[in-house]
Structure 1
Amino acid sequence: NVTVIKNSKSGVCSGRNLGVKNAKGDYIMFLDADDWIESNACKILLNHAVEAEADCVICNYSRDYSDHSEKMLHYIRDTMYSDWKDYLKDLLNVQAGVGFCWGKLIKASTIEDVLLNEELSLAEDAEYCARASQKWNVIVGDEHPLVHYVFNDQSAVRKFDTAYADKFLLSMKAVEEDLKDVMAEDKNIETLFYNFVSYHVLLILVNYCAHPQNKD
C-alpha cells in the first residue's frame, strides 16, 4: 500500500509538506531519501505511542559509514518528557540528535496545520520541530536504534556553499521567532538557544574556511 506522489517543486521541505497534506493514516513518519529504517520500526514505535498515549515517539538511530556503523544512543532506556519545553531543551542540544524530522512517529492530527518552512534549506528540521513540538502534549523517547542515517560526503549540508552562512542565519532567526515567548519566560532556554546558534556558527566556520572545495 504505497502511494507515490510526484512533486512539481524542489526541496525537501516542499516534499515533506506534500506528503503530510496527502497522508491518510493516524501517524506520520518522515524518512530521508538516502536513509533506511529497521523492518519492525513502525510496529515498535506504534506500540509505544499507543501504550503511552503519545503525540510523538522519538527513537535512537545508527550512523552508517562505508565501513562501519555507530549507534547513537541518546535514550539509554525509554524516556518520557515532562512537557514540550523539556523536549525543547534536548532539541537545542544539537549533539543529542533529536531535532530531526526523521526518527519520529508523530500523531497526524497534531501537525495538520504545522508545515515546514519552504524558505529554509538548512536547519529546517530543527525549526520545524521547535514549532511542531508545541502541539505535542505527550512526548516519549524509545531506546531502540531504528533509523539508519547513512553518512554521505556529497549531501547538501556537506557541500561547499558560499551562501551557507546566509541560509543558516535565516533558519536561526526563524527559530528565534518561534521561541521568543518561551525564551522571555525561561532564561535557561534562552541560554540553550544561544548555545544552539553558536554550534551552527562553528558549522559555518568549518564549511567556509576549512572546506577542501573552497579554493579561495
Structure 2
Amino acid sequence: MCARDRRLKEIQMWSIIRETLLYICFLSLLYTVIFSNCQSNSYSQVKHLQNFLLNSRQMDDDYTKISTINQYWNWLENSFISNIRAQEWYNGDAPRNLSGFINDKSSRLIGWVTMRQLRIKSDLCPAHVNEIISTCRYDYSFSNEDKNSYKPGWVVNETIQTYSSSINQSFIYSTSKDLDTYIYVGDHGTYGSGGYVYEFRGRLVDLQ
C-alpha cells in the first residue's frame, strides 16, 4: 500500500507541475503578445488625432469649447466633415493617391467614420412649470433614454421630402447587439451602448 500511495502522490505531483508549467507558458505568451505591440508613438498618435478632429488647436470651431447647438453644427460642418477626407495641398494640388486618408495626409481610415447619438425622452412638465414651458428634458440616464425609432426630422409620421437610406437609417434606434458596442463611461456620465448612428460614407460633396 505504501508503494501504491507513493506512486499516486508522484502522479499528482507531476500533474501539478505540468499544469503550472503550462500556465507559466500561457502567461509568457500573453505577456509577449500584449507588450510586443506597444510603441512609444502611440500616445502621440492618439493625441494628434484628438487635437486634429476636435480642432482644439484653432480659435474657431473648437469642439472642447462648444456650449451651444449652433457651435456644435459649425464644428461638424466646417471642421469635422472636411477633416475626415483628404483635401487639396497647401499649394492647391489635388490629393492624389490619398483615397481613404483624412486631411492630415498621413492617417488612413479603416472602414468609415460613424457618429452615435443618444437621446433622452421628452416628458410633459409638472403643472407648476407647464405655464412657462410645456416639455421638460432631464439629464441623461439609462432610465430616460429614448429608444423609439423616427423619421427624418425626429417625427413619427412619414415626411414628404425624400432622403437617402443612410439618413433614414440614422433616425432608427440601433441596439448594442446591432452595433456590437459596449457601455461607455465618460467624464460626465455613463452612456448606453445603443443609439442612433450615422455613417459618414461617400464623397465629401455628398457629406456636406
TM-score, normalised to structure 1's length?
0.23
Q: Which structure is higher in strand share?
A: 1
Q: Which has the larger radius of gyration?
A: 2
Tell which has more relative contact order, 1 or 2 (C-alpha 8 A, sep 6+). Answer: 1
